[in-house]
A = this chain, B = another copy of it.
């Protein structure tokens, strides 16, 4: 069998694949293809693995030392996981994230031209595994570095929940004197097509050159390595599973664009929350028992009833904010079963907020009787909030305010999560 790092040709019963051998387990051989993607190949389908070229292992560059350059601002890079600043060691297949400043500057030497870099490995986890309590951990790490007096914080994080984390942190870090920019990578740093360096560098440029304070996201604007966008923390969604320009503003526009070559910053939105000597204020508590249910065709009332006893529930409804109302039996007799189920959940003390599965646009629960009926049950319209943003906002409100206050505040814009009743031009065009 091949060793990790070897260039191999995997001959299958049908066809073959060439790539770098990463590792194998009982059932599967993992290859890194020329495209940079990993692929897993079922051993049952493999007839032979040919070694084309022995590997040399991975050459990890460390900066000899990071020179403190007087006059440059300081940026702290906090790593929480994901592919943004990790390398695969082909000898072991393991992801390396030792993550001291020397490593970072070794990987991304451009950073040291922009700022003095401090860094900390806060966590190393899949962003899917993020729980509310981790937002508290990250918020406290931010606090530590703000107290050190840095000029900005970059948070490296897995892309799957990057936008959700940005929304959560913009609530948990209620006031900040400096910018906090979340950055991820859709392709890992050891790949030619990696977006890690450009996303990091553009985030650093934006921190250093703009007036912006608060939480935002920095990711590729197009697929090409030309422009990054700074995206609003509460109004962004990962809208593609693999493309580098997966992150898009929803019911909003980007805050700024950064040209990677010229380093020019084009402000698109007026910056309301600017850098100034204010105190950092954390409000990092979230209520644990808050769920999300997506409405679908042919669902059963029991799917709603499950959430009895939860403190909060986001419904991702259809269109302007609807759920099914009826179940009909085999004789086409209609039973009004959904509204009683939803009422049971509300009566158990749960705040229910409606969002839309159309993603773009806002709910309007006054257009059809169904929306009015749902409101009469106690369901609260979630305006134009992304379902995931509504989820972390509701959990944050219930963690820090009374239920009555949460009920009012959920419909009020606190951190840019609700926009005025204005149709942004940018909708899939």
- Whether the Cβ atoms of A28 and B372 lie closer than 8 Å is yes
A427 contacts chain B at the CB level, 8 A cutoff: yes
The answer to whether A391 and B39 touch across the interface, beta carbons within 8 angstroms, is no
Contact B361 A128 (CB under 8 A): no
Q: Which residues of B contact A293 (CB under 8 A)?
A: 294
Chain B: which residue is nearest A40 at the CB level? B366
Tell me whether A360 is interfacial, beta carbon within 8 Å: yes
A128 to B318, CA, bound (A): 7
Contact at A388–B292, with CB atoms within 8 Å? no
**Which residue of B has the minimal Cβ distance to A384?**
B241
Q: Which listed residue, B297, B302, B376, touches A388 by the CB 8 Å rule?
A: B297
Interface assignment of A322: CB less than 8 Å from any CB of chain B? yes
- Contact indicator per residue, chain A 273-298, by CB within 8 Å of chain B (1) or not (0): 00000000000001010111111111
Is the pair B128, A370 in contact by a Cβ cutoff of 8 Å? yes
Tell me if A164 is interfacial: C-beta within 8 Å of chain B.
yes
Q: Which residues of B contact A357 (CB under 8 A)?
A: 238
B297 pairs with A288, CB closer than 8 A: no
A212 within 8 A of B: no
Q: Does A11 contact B (CB under 8 A)?
A: no
With a 10 A CB-CB cut-off, give which of A38, A243, A297, A302 has the most chain B CB atoms. A297
Determine the chain B residues whose CB is within 8 A of the CB of A368 once the complex forms.
Answer: 38, 126
Minimum Cβ distance to chain B for residue A360 (Å) = 4
Q: Are A160 and B318 in contact (CB under 8 A)?
A: yes
Interchain CB contact (< 8 A) of A130 among B131, B297, B388: B297
- Does A401 reach chain B (CB closer than 8 Å)? no
A240 touches B360 (CB 8 A): yes
Q: Does A416 sit at the interface, judged by CB under 8 A?
A: no
| Contact call B318/A240, Cβ cutoff below 8 A | no
Instruction: Assess whether B367 is in contact with A37, with CB atoms less than 8 Å apart.
Output: yes
Of B243, B300, B321, B362, the residue contacting A423 (CB under 8 A) is: B243
| Cα–Cα distance between A367 and B241 once the two chains are bound (Å) | 12
CA distance A128 to B127 in the complex (A): 33
Q: Which of A139-167 contact B (CB under 8 A)?
A: 159-161, 164-165
Known: A131-B298, A133-B328, A239-B360. 7 other contacts (CB 8 A): A130-B298, A238-B358, A240-B358, A240-B360, A243-B423, A243-B427, A292-B296
